[in-house]
Amino acid sequence: PVLPGIAGASFTGASDEHGTLTIKDDAALRHGERIHLIPGHCDPTVNLYDVYYPVRDGRVEELWPISARGKSQ
């Protein structure tokens, strides 16, 4: 699907941790510019990290420990 607000860019093949960002030469993006993607779900990925970093308005607000880290055996 086309990324809203970013002409010439699309994101396809979304999975738990990977996807493909396609950017045309005339896309409205500059090198190093940040984009915001929201995953559909993250359950298999959560097990890989110790902490969530909730972000609001571009700033980390808190740290949320992941108490089940490494428990999927």
Cα(10)–Cα(54) distance, rounded to whole angstroms? 25
Q: What does pTM read for this prediction?
A: 0.47
Q: Is-contact 29 35, C-beta < 8 A?
A: yes
Rg of the chain's alpha carbons, rounded to an integer?
15
Q: pLDDT by residue for the chain (73 residues), tens digit each?
A: 566 677 778 888 877 777 888 888 777 777 787 777 776 666 777 778 889 898 899 899 999 998 877 766 6
Closest C-alpha among 35, 37, 7, 39 to residue 23:
7
First-residue to last-residue Cα distance in the chain = 35
